[in-house]
Amino acid sequence: MPILVTIIVFSLAFYVFYKIKYVRSNKPVERKWISSKSGIALGLFVLAFGINQLYIYQSKVSFIIAAVFVLLGGINIWSGIKAYKFYLPYAIEEAEGKN
């Protein structure tokens, strides 16, 4: 499916983009906030890759591996969203210089 391949490529590109931003940032809370965004992108990559494997290969082993990828990707997205929401107000404070 071309849409899944597009999602895979863009999520991998965003993951690399956020990891580069993470390395270049000097502020500790901003680094955690950016790391949570990269975790969401990585989770989306793994999730889309697992779904794509369901369409490419139609075997029992493929279904098991794809299910693991989908589960791990979903957990990574969920934990990234929770971390993003947690660190966002602190990152805003840090950017405004209220510390």
The per-residue pLDDT of the chain, averaged, comes to 93
Helices and strands in the chain: count of H runs, count of E runs: 3, 0
* Number of domains composing the chain: 1
pTM for the full predicted model: 0.89
User: What domain range is 45 assigned to?
Assistant: 2-96
Cβ distance 47 to 77 under 8 Å? yes
Confidence at residue 56, expressed as pLDDT on a 0 to 100 scale: 87
Q: Give residues with Cβ within 8 angstroms of 6, minimum separation 6.
A: none
Count of CB atoms situated within 10 Å of the CB of 40: 21
Question: How do residues 17-42 score in pLDDT, each as one tens digit?
Answer: 999 999 999 999 999 999 999 999 99
